[in-house]
Structure 1
Amino acid sequence: MKKTIPAALLTEEFKQRVEDTGMTDAAVAAAIGVTKQYFSAVKNGKEAPSIKFLAGAVIAGLGQNFGDIARPNPYAFSQALADSKGAA
């Protein structure tokens, strides 16, 4: 089974802001409005952040816009391109 690569990853700036809060992952997840498990998966690059995650992070003051929170993952495009060539 092929590993899926998330389409977007959290920025280092966002990760630093989260660390600077001194809050636990559970507290940050609650402030954003997601589960601790989902927050952990996004933080560790196993899941892409959802619109709810991005909006919650902005509302919680952890960034001014979605681009402050996450960036597109260039490896996801490469995987999608390779997959489409393999399917042809």
Structure 2
Amino acid sequence: MSAYALNKMLREINQNPATRQGYFERPETIAERFVLSEEERGAFLTQDIGALYRLGVHGLILRPFTLLKQMPEADYLRAIRE
């Protein structure tokens, strides 16, 4: 598909408290609201940060998303460099 949908979804999770709560409770429901390929959906649901980055999620959207799950910076940097 397009990196646009992934970026839009993660940006909405980062910025919208209701969407963020939905993500914590049922991430698959949030993913269903966006047109994602199976690869994109899988990377999102498994929180494969490296794959999300390679699929085109911008770092300024991806890093705040990883902070929601309290991912240390070293782990984040390692994931996007692999």
Could you say which TM-score interval applies, normalised by the shorter chain?
Answer: 0.3 to 0.5
Q: TM-score, normalised by structure 2?
A: 0.33
Q: TM-score, normalised by structure 1?
A: 0.32
Which of the pair is proportionally richer in helix? 2
